[in-house]
Amino acid sequence: MAYVITEICIRDGSCVEVCPVACIHTTPEAPQFYIDPDVCIECEQCVIVCPVDAVFLDIELPDQHLKAEEDNAAFFRATKDEVEQLSYHTAMEMIHEAEAYARRMGYRVSVVVVDGSGIPIAMSRMDGATPWSTELALNKAYTATLYDINTDTTRLAHHSLTVMSKGKIMAGAGGLAIMGDFGAATIGGIGVAGAATNDNDLSCARAGVTVLDHHH
C-alpha cells in the first residue's frame, strides 16, 4: 500500500516538508506533486498537513480519482528511467563533446564514461593519444564516481588515495562525478587523460558533461 496524491493538489509543497522518507516529488512542468509508491511508508504525515485533502491511501481512492494511483507510479518510472541512469547514447554524446573540445584545443585524449558503479559504458581514444591514457581516463572516471567528487579534489584532500593508484583509485584532475537530478545519488562519471596537464584533462571532462544540461 501507499498514499497517492490526486489532481486536487495545489502544489504548495507542505507534504514534502513532513515526509520522513522524502518520497514526494514533482517537476516544474508537472500539474501536481506525486508520491513514490516504492518508498512511501504510509506514515500519513502528508495527509495531515495537506490543506486541500488531496492525499488518499491507494485502496481508499474515491472513484473519480482512481487514475491517480497509476499517475503517481508513472511519474517515478519516467523520472527514474530518464534521469537516474546514464544511457549509452548520452555517454557517447559526452565523449563526442569532450573530444570536440580537445580537438579545438589541440589535445589528444582518451575519454571514459562510467555508470554509478564505476563500470565503463563507453570509452574512446583519439588518434595520437598515448596508449596508457585510456586506462588513466577509466581510473579517473571510476574514482570520481565512487568518491562523488572531481578527482582534483581528491588530490588536494586525500593524499592517501594516491597510494592505491595501482588499483583504480586515481588522483589528479580529469575526472568528474555526475549527480542525478533526482536525489543526490551519483549516476556515473567521466574521466579524461592524455592532454598536457591534468587541468587540460579536466576542461575536456567539463566540456563532456555540458551534454547533460541540454538534456534537461
The site map against ligand SF4 for 91-110 (x = CB under 6 A) is --------------------
Q: How far is the CB of 5 from ligand SF4 (least distance, A)?
A: 4
Residue 44 near ligand SF4 by CB under 6 A: yes
Does position 176 bind ligand SF4 by CB under 6 A?
A: no
Contact call for residue 173 and ligand SF4 (CB under 6 A): no
Q: Measuring CA to CA, how many Å separate 202 from each of 82, 97, 144, 159, 172?
A: 26, 13, 12, 19, 9
Does the footprint of ligand SF4 cover residue 45 (CB under 6 A)? yes
Query: Going by DSSP bridges, is the β-strand pair 175-179/120-125 parallel, antiparallel, or unpaired?
Result: unpaired
Question: With binding defined as CB under 6 A, does residue 10 bind ligand SF4?
Answer: yes
For residues 198 and 77, give the distance between their C-alpha atoms in angstroms, rounded to a whole number: 39
Residue 3 found at the interface with ligand SF4 (CB under 6 A): yes
Stretch touching ligand SF4 by CB under 6 A, among 20-28, 66-74, 77-85, 125-133: 20-28
Shortest CA distance to 35 belongs to which of 79, 86, 84, 69?
Answer: 69
Beta strands in the chain (DSSP E): 3-5, 24-25, 34-35, 55-57, 110-115, 120-125, 175-179, 186-193
Contact residues: ligand SF4, CB under 6 A: 3, 5, 9-15, 18-19, 21, 23-24, 33, 35, 40-46, 49-50, 52, 54-55
